A and B are shown apart, each in its own frame.
Chain A
Amino acid sequence: MSVTVEIGRRDDRPPVPPGGAGWSCPKCHQPADPAAVRANLQVCPACGYHLRIGARERIAQLVDQGGFRERWAALKTLDPLEFTDLETYPERLREAQAKTGLTEAIVAGTATIASVQCVLAVMDFGFMGGSMGSVVGEKLWRAAEMAATEGLPLVAVCTSGGARMQEGILSLMQMAKTTCAVDVINEAGVPFVAVLADPCTGGVVASFATLADICVAEPGALLYFSGPRVIAETTKEELPADFGTAERNLALGHLDAVVARTELRDKLANYLRLLEGGGTPERIRARRARSRSPRGLVDAAARRAKALAAHARRPFGRGDREADVTPQDFEA
């Protein structure tokens, strides 16, 4: 069921391009200065409408300056089923790569978010609808495994139309694989926070994303397993106007919070600090002991202590975008 059916029908919300003139909000139609919209993290200054953003822009918004190091970028997609619909899968992949400049629908690596070290995985809806195929599943697995072995929290920003049909059953299996990845980080006792951005549907919400310790969404994001069209066709039910919105999901008890993009970075850092129990040395040691593999633990503890020392100098402020910890500090 599920997947990509509905998504094309919504406003396509291109992020405001640099130097773009004459921009007006697709929701409130208020004209705004493109530079101001960009500075406001691609949120309409007038009505708070959140435009869709790509993985690279998301990462730039969340991490400290110099605070992201991409990993597993060499993973490449194959065409295991030699899948052809109206186009071949390789053709669709090439188009998506040309359009987004990405190799796949997810970018992952190590990051510092407001001085908190973590493993960060960010999906990109512009790449084949953010669909989850083998490479997305494998990067999430590696991100989770690194979080578990290094004792780092995992942050996933999810936006997806669901499973990638062109990989057939193997895309369905990524739901199982990423669920097992969550089991790995749960067993290691490291925090996992998921941010659901518009839209987040199908196999992604029915697997790792909603299994996070803390699961929040951006305002107005559409979240569902089965899309409105599938529901209407199957059940003939009349959908409420706000079906699937983050706000409705919050009221129904499916989310921890709805967090505006402008607040997201600080919120994430706070969640991670809280889940790490304030990061006392005892807690850190306990977490290390629980983590499955001894690899890199000593180094990780040293890095953590350094990050904490940096954090102690500036415990509650948003801080500037200067890196407290350079990328080299947490390169494994």
Chain B
Amino acid sequence: MGEEIERLTSRLKTLRHEKRRHDAWLTVQIAREKDRPRTRDYIALLIEGFEELKGDRLRADDPAIVGGLGWFGGQAVVVIGHQKGRTFDEQQVHNFGMARPEGYRKAQRLFRLAERHKLPIFTFVDTPGAYPGIAAEEGGQARAIAETMRNMARLSVPVIATVIGEGGSGGALALALADRVLMQENATYSVISPEGCAAILWRDAEFAPEAAEALRPTASQLLALNVIERVVKEPRGGAQNNPVHAANELRQALRETLAELVAIDPAARRAQRRERFRKLGAFSEGSVAGAVINALPSLSPRPQRDF
């Protein structure tokens, strides 16, 4: 009897594990789905009279990040997003959504434009990461990402980021230091790709499904960690199955979130944005009776331990 219980308990554990593994890794696949709507698709579906604005005003235009002006329900807005391609040729042009320093500098100058003219900003995050090339590195990739984040931290206008596909590492975060971060149901957002994580920690990229599970990159997991504010529903099976439906859900979420943000005083909004990111992290403070645990959701009933 005891043995049987033990066997069944262990079987249940395995099945749960497999289901979890399946969930995170499946979501990674959907987030990377070739036919998934991209930034330009959502611009076409959500923004009227879009005028694309190119160039970093320094040396180049990076097609991995697109941006411009348009109308969102009668409100002029600035839109900036990573652009992946769909066809092979498009992917080449847009460099698979992997931005170079000029892409981040383009984002910075569009942030300044929005600030000057008091226009709310929508960003769309969809990138495997910043482009890892020699020219990008030596053109100041690290600083370009850091400066883009600092620009966002300083904005007085409302800024909403939506992760619509892959949110890969610092290259994604550079466009996501926002007042509110939304995420589509099948998007992922992670410090490193599952393959990269597996290659380093498991020393074998084949363990990507395990790494995907360990990283907890899905929208519902990130909502539990307070990293995002809202999960935006997608059509069954993923946004690629019905882009119009997906766009309608996103429109609704953006409209409600923007209405919430414009009601806040600009200085307070900036302070709250800073506070939002300040609170992200998990630690305890040993000297205080009863651990101070910041932004720590209950992922499991196990008590948190100190180390």
Interface residues of A (CB under 8 A from B): 1-5, 74-86, 90, 93-94, 97, 133-135, 137-138, 141, 163, 165, 167-177, 179-184, 186, 202-203, 205-211, 223-226, 230-231, 234-235, 237, 239-240, 243-244, 248, 252-254
Q: CB-CB < 8 A to A181: which residues of B?
A: 278
**In-complex Cβ contact of A177 among B141, B222, B277 (8 A):** B277
In the complex the two chains form, is A85's CB within 8 Å of B214's CB?
yes
The distance from the CB of A29 to the nearest CB of chain B, in whole angstroms, is 30
Closest-by-CB residue of B relative to A81 is B216
In the complex the two chains form, is B170's CB within 8 Å of A206's CB?
yes
Closest-by-CB residue of B relative to A252 is B138
Q: CB-CB < 8 A to B176: which residues of A?
A: 176
Report if B3 contacts A (CB, 8 A): no
A/B interface sample: 17 pairs, CB < 8 A: A1-B130, A5-B196, A80-B225, A80-B282, A163-B169, A165-B200, A169-B216, A169-B217, A172-B170, A173-B277, A205-B142, A205-B146, A206-B130, A206-B145, A207-B170, A208-B146, A230-B132
In the complex the two chains form, is A169's CB within 8 Å of B215's CB?
yes
Report if B87 contacts A (CB, 8 A): no
Q: CB-CB < 8 A to B197: which residues of A?
A: 85, 165
Report if B53 contacts A (CB, 8 A): no
- The complex places the Cα of A151 from the Cα of B131 at a distance, in Å, of 38
Determine the main DSSP class of A at the interface with B.
helix
In the complex the two chains form, is A179's CB within 8 Å of B146's CB?
yes
In the complex the two chains form, is A81's CB within 8 Å of B170's CB?
no
Give a binary string over B124-166; 1 marks a CB under 8 Å from any A CB, 0 the rest: 0000111011101110111101110110011000000000000
Interface residues of B (CB under 8 A from A): 128-130, 132-134, 136-138, 140-143, 145-147, 149-150, 153-154, 168-171, 173, 176-177, 189-193, 196-197, 199-203, 210-211, 214-217, 222, 225, 227, 273-274, 277-278, 280-288, 291, 293-294, 296, 299-300, 302, 304-307
Closest-by-CB residue of A relative to B141 is A225
Determine the main DSSP class of B at the interface with A.
mixed
In the complex the two chains form, is B189's CB within 8 Å of A169's CB?
yes
- Interface centre among B140, B173, B225, B284, by most chain A C-beta atoms within 10 angstroms, is B173
Q: CB-CB < 8 A to B132: which residues of A?
A: 1-2, 225-226, 230-231, 234-235
In the complex the two chains form, is B191's CB within 8 Å of A171's CB?
yes
In the complex the two chains form, is A79's CB within 8 Å of B304's CB?
yes
- The complex places the Cα of A1 from the Cα of B196 at a distance, in Å, of 7
Q: CB-CB < 8 A to A244: which residues of B?
A: 137
